[in-house]
């Protein structure tokens, strides 16, 4: 910026251009454009992170709803298991295992589908000045692991509720 100002002053003095004439000398400063582009990229990253966070939250809510439905549908089965001597810990474990399995399978296929779509769109986005769209594989795996972790946490609430069901009430359930 200082070089820009000093060059501007130098050329105006050398070529006898009025110091008040804004259009007399034009010096393009690429550093200023670079700073603006970096700020735009940061804002874009924040927006993408917000969308990714919302997607993970939606996945967590989806897994929680699925597990609530699974526990509701299998109330009699859980009651029979408890009547036969299953401990609350084993009931929680089986439901958590199912929750983690569903989350892992859906998270893994979702990650693969996203990477495939990103790779297949790569050449078609050159018209929009996007030359190399990609996702860092560690970021994709990290997001999948976070989804699995929170899927297990979301599955714990219905699992705990299932462990608290009394066998006689579960067997009466329609």
pLDDT tens string 29-67 = 777 788 888 898 899 889 988 998 888 888 888 888 888
151 phi/psi in degrees, rounded to 5: -65, -40
* Lookup: tokens for 55: 């997607």
Query: What pTM did the predictor assign?
Result: 0.66
**pLDDT tens digits along 109-165:** 988 898 888 878 777 777 766 777 777 888 888 888 888 898 888 888 888 888 888
Alpha-carbon distances of 134 from 16, 33, 79, 138, rounded to whole Å: 52, 24, 49, 12
The angle formed by the CA atoms of residues 99, 105 and 111, to the nearest 5 degrees, is 125
Helix/strand/coil percentages in the chain, nearest 5 = 80, 0, 20
- Per the CB < 8 A criterion, the answer to whether 135 and 64 are in contact is no
- Per the CB < 8 A criterion, the answer to whether 63 and 153 are in contact is no
Read off the pLDDT band of 1 (50, 70, 90).
low
- Per the CB < 8 A criterion, the answer to whether 91 and 82 are in contact is yes
Question: How far is residue 20's CA from residue 3's CA, in Å, rounded to a whole number?
Answer: 19
- Per the CB < 8 A criterion, the answer to whether 154 and 67 are in contact is yes
**pLDDT tens digits along 74-115:** 888 888 888 888 888 998 898 889 888 988 898 889 888 988
How many helical (H) and strand (E) elements, i.e. helices and strands, does the chain have? 6, 0
Question: How far is residue 54's CA from residue 47's CA, in Å, rounded to a whole number?
Answer: 11
> Tokens 């714990």 sit at which residue?
156
């Amino acid at each position: 910026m200082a070089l820009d100002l000093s060059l501007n002053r130098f050329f105006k003095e050398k070529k006898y251009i009025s110091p008040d004439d804004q259009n007399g000398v034009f010096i393009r400063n690429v550093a200023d454009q670079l700073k603006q582009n970096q700020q735009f990229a940061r804002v874009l990253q924040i927006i993408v992170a917000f969308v990714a966070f919302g997607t993970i939250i939606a996945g967590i809510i989806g897994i929680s709803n699925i597990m609530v439905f699974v526990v509701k549908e299998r109330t009699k089965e859980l009651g029979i298991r408890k009547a036969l001597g299953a401990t609350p810990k084993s009931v929680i474990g089986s439901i958590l295992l199912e929750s983690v399995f569903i989350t892992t399978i859906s998270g893994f296929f979702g990650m693969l589908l996203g990477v495939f779509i990103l790779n297949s769109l790569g050449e078609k986005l050159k018209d929009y000045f996007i030359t190399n769209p990609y996702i860092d594989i560690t970021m994709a795996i990290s997001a999948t692991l976070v989804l699995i972790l929170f899927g297990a946490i979301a599955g714990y609430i219905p699992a705990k509720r299932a462990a608290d069901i009394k066998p006689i009430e579960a067997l009466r359930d329609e």
